[in-house]
Amino acid sequence: MDPRLRVLACAIAVGAILLSVASGHSTDLGPIHPITGGPFEASGLVVPPGGKGLLFVDDARPDAVLWMELAADGSPKAAPVRIPLGVSVVDPEGLTTDGRYVYVVGSQSRGNVGGGGPGLARFRFDVTRGAAQGAETIDGLGALLAGAVAEVRATGGKKKQKAPPLNIEGVAWDAKHGRLLLGLRAPLDAGQAMLIPVRLRAASGPFAAANLLVEKPIRIDLGGAGIRGIEADESGDFWIIAGGSSGNPVASRIVRWDGSGSAVRPAATLPGHLKAEGVVRAVVGGKPVTVVLCDTSQYLLLR
């Protein structure tokens, strides 16, 4: 084979391994960027209010978030900066903003979360100073959800085996309804993924368990996968990372959901070894892109 053709064939094969694009949807995968200064067990990320950079959480840093700015070509300007929160959220997995506050949610699957530890927090981010301010927490989130949602505490099967433990891996602000959506990796309900909406009973009331209202779950058909990450874009659509509901690495699909019904629209598929866990729409180099953050100290851009 002509050497030039061999190089071209290899490039095509590598591209097919790195990104399998859903039929009928054109997606351009930029380079995979390493995050220096790690390693980072990176999960959820968000563009904070007034910020041009990104905030993300790290499973191993329960008392902080990390601030990272991107250059025009999408590469990191520098290593992420640790931003102390003043509170700790065990196993932080999801991050979102309502335009005023930034919210952090823990998985509820590790540590003593059932015993009343902080499971959900919010704070204001001062972009100028690079500081988190006024952090507040809601304790015992897992117990609150189990008490309100039958599917979370359900048991089934002939041997009455317990359902997979609660595992929250994403959170998104639903601006149309003024609430947070908690994205569950597990359990599934009849093979469908679940989002659990929560809101403050009194919007101007305290950020506390007694003021938290848990609404009925929303079911989404992800083909038997759970939610590994979720965030809304400027149009009100939600970008979701659909991945395995167990610990085994499998291919992750990026899908879009319009906030109603259970159907989703495919966007792209990524190999399991990247461990995609965070997704957000951002403007990089003057152009809108989808940033996908991976639990391997890496991120990539979908254009």
pLDDT recorded at residue 158:
43
pLDDT digits (tens, 9 = 90+) for 29-73: 668 999 999 999 999 999 999 878 999 999 999 999 999 999 999
Q: Which amino acid is at 86?
A: G
CB neighbours (10 Å) of residue 24? Answer: 7
DSSP state of 128: T
Of 67, 60, 77, residue with least CA distance to 102: 67
Residue type, 274: L
> Position of tokens 């997704």?
279
Ordered DSSP codes for 217-273 = -EEE--TT-EEEEEEE-TTS-EEEEEE-SSSS---EEEEEE-SSSS--EEEEEE-GG
- Per-residue tokens: 142: 């897992």
Predicted confidence at residue 165, as pLDDT, reads 86
Q: What is the number of other CB atoms lying within 10 angstroms of the CB of residue 128?
A: 7
Angle at Cα 224 formed by Cα 21 and Cα 12, nearest 5°? 20
Work out the pLDDT band at 154, boundaries 50, 70, 90: low
Q: In b/e form, how buried is each residue of 9-20, taking b as 16+ CB within 10 angstroms?
A: eeeeeeeeeebe
More confident residue, 26 or 271: 271
Report the DSSP beta bridge partners of residue 186. Answer: 167
Per-residue confidence band for 116, with pLDDT thresholds at 50, 70 and 90: low
**Tens-digit pLDDT profile for residues 258-275:** 999 999 999 998 888 889
117: pLDDT confidence band, cut at 50, 70 and 90? confident
Q: Which of 114-118, 137-141, 280-284 has the lowest mean pLDDT?
A: 114-118
- pLDDT tens by residue, 120-133: 999 999 999 999 99
**Residue 256, pLDDT score:** 97
28 Cβ neighbours under 8 A, 6+ residues apart: 302, 303
φ, ψ of residue 108 in degrees (nearest 5): 70, 10
Cα Dmax for the chain: 71
Does position 149 have pLDDT exceeding 90, yes or no? yes
Residue 226 pLDDT greater than 90, yes or no: yes
Selection from 163, 62, 56, 58 nearest residue 111 by Cα? 62
Select the more confidently predicted residue: 6 or 48: 48
Q: With bands split at pLDDT 50, 70 and 90, how would you rate the model's confidence at 161?
A: low
pLDDT in tens, 228-259: 999 999 999 999 999 876 666 678 899 999 99
Per-residue pLDDT reduced to its tens digit, 50-59: 878 999 999 9
**Residue 259: left if φ>0, alpha if ψ -120 to 50, beta else—which one?**
left
- pTM of structure: 0.88
